Amino acid sequence: MRVVHGAAATLTCAGLAWTLWAGLEQPGYALAFGALIVVGELARWGAGPGEREPAPIGAAGALAYALLGECAGRDTSHGVLQVVAVVVAAALVGAVLHVARGRGPALDHVARRVLTVGFAAVCFQPLYNSGELERRLGQGPYYALFLLVLLLLTALCDAVLAAAMLRARTGFPYGPLLRDELRAILGIGSAVCATGAVMALAVAVAGLWALPVFCVPLLLTQLSFRRYAAVRTTYRQTIASLARATEIAGYTRPGHARRVASLSTAVGRELGLTGGDLTVLEYAALMHDIGQFSLVDPVPDGATTLLPVPEQRRIALLGGAVVRQTGVPSAVAVAVVVERQADPYREQPLPARIVRAVNAYDDLTGGSGRSAGGALGALERLRLGTGQDYQPEVVESLARVLARGGLAPAPPG
């Protein structure tokens, strides 16, 4: 991660220093695209689960400036370093209000923006300014295709950087993280790339007036994504509130469902789960104890792992019936029902195996694995049960997650 941040900082310093020393080429164009990026940054929204690009208009404007070769038929003369300088300066201006409110952009996001825009500019500006691009492709459909291919490569570069930075921060396997990032390109990422290419082509013909016109579709897309994210956030909060009902009623320890969900998500990532599979796992972990409402007398500390097998099965079946009424995917109810039963783990879906092992760990440690003896003792008991109750790979993944400090960020998508 330090390498990525260092590269972004070096490129930023070089761009700002060169622009201050050599002056701003075609300041009108730079001001127009800078203003667009500022507006995009001002309209940014908080990055939550699945929200890979919080400022799509700013990102599209930055890419369009990196790929700008003409404006209303007149050749541009700005280079790579000026592109970086304008993008960084505009992003900083647009972030002032958010920083004042304590919601400034994440350093990782800023570094990715600088490097991906720099990559696009390096691949385009020297070729265009030297005339090589026009000699080989002209201004027809091949030129537009070149821009689209370049944007695709830029998106892939951004995905590789994002996965690498998340890998350095969390320690999760790189492959599943990269798959998550590549999947995200099909969402708001594709809209950003398409809008960046269209704006660059439109400005080349119609001039700067094309900028506000072609921002409208992306603005509508951003609003749609924001509403979708709000619905998903509300849905997740509802599930979490329902899961906490067992804690409020005194059936389970405070924070039990949240701890099991966080550790289960981390173990799922360790085992290569991504996207919707992680969502199913999180919901199943949150709601795995909902069947305890059927008990007349609560289990001490909610530790159902120590109950007789028939009682575990009865609680699981009742919990599954409740979960099915909430409208969550049927796979969540299956995981909730199965994870409590005495069936061999080989007959259970992977989310059920993960929740079963993590729930047992939390029960055995009393909700706190702070003491080495408690955590190690609980893991040893889980390892002794790998013949039938717990999948060995799940237990070892749990051990690796705990060795790194434990909890995972919310899953994307």
What sign does the dihedral 1-270-233-217 (CA atoms) show? Answer: positive
Below-70 pLDDT ranges, the chain: 45-53, 104, 249-251, 291-344, 367-373, 406-413
Half-sphere exposure of 328 (CA within 13 A, CB side): 31
For residue 1, give every residue at least 6 positions away whose Cβ sits within 8 Å of its Cβ, in sequence order, or none: 108, 164, 165, 168, 169
What is the maximal distance between C-alpha atoms in the chain? Answer: 82
Q: Report which of 112, 129, 115 is spatially closest to residue 181, judged by C-alpha positions.
A: 112
Q: Is 126 helix (H, G, I), strand (E, B) or coil?
A: helix
User: Could you give the CA distance from residue 275 to residue 257 in angstroms, rounded to a whole number?
Assistant: 21
Instruction: Give the pLDDT confidence score for residue 224 in this predicted structure.
Output: 77
User: Could you give the CA distance from residue 37 to residue 15 in angstroms, rounded to a whole number?
Assistant: 17
User: Could you give the CA distance from residue 286 to residue 239 in angstroms, rounded to a whole number?
Assistant: 7
The pTM (predicted TM-score) of the whole model is 0.72
State residue 173 phi and psi, 5-degree precision. Answer: -55, 140
CA 302-258-377 angle, 5° bins: 60
From first CA to last CA, the distance across the chain in angstroms is 24
Q: What is the pLDDT of residues 359-409, one digit of tens each?
A: 888 888 875 544 445 778 888 888 888 877 788 899 999 988 888 775 444
CA distance readout (Å), 34 to 28, 86, 125? 10, 6, 18
Judge whether 257 and 239 are in contact, CB under 8 Å. no
Judge whether 164 and 122 are in contact, CB under 8 Å. no
User: Could you give the CA distance from residue 412 to residue 52 in angstroms, rounded to a whole number?
Assistant: 9
Instruction: Give the pLDDT confidence score for residue 20 in this predicted structure.
Output: 92
Q: Residue 86 has which token pair? A: 């304008």
Instruction: Give the pLDDT confidence score for residue 55 in this predicted structure.
Output: 77
**Helical H runs in 130-140?**
132-137
Beta-carbon count within 10 A of 175 CB: 12
HEC sequence for 65-112? HHCCCEECCEECCCCHHHHHHHHHHHHHHHHHHHHHCCCCCCHHHHHH
User: Could you give the CA distance from residue 281 to residue 260 in angstroms, rounded to a whole number?
Assistant: 10
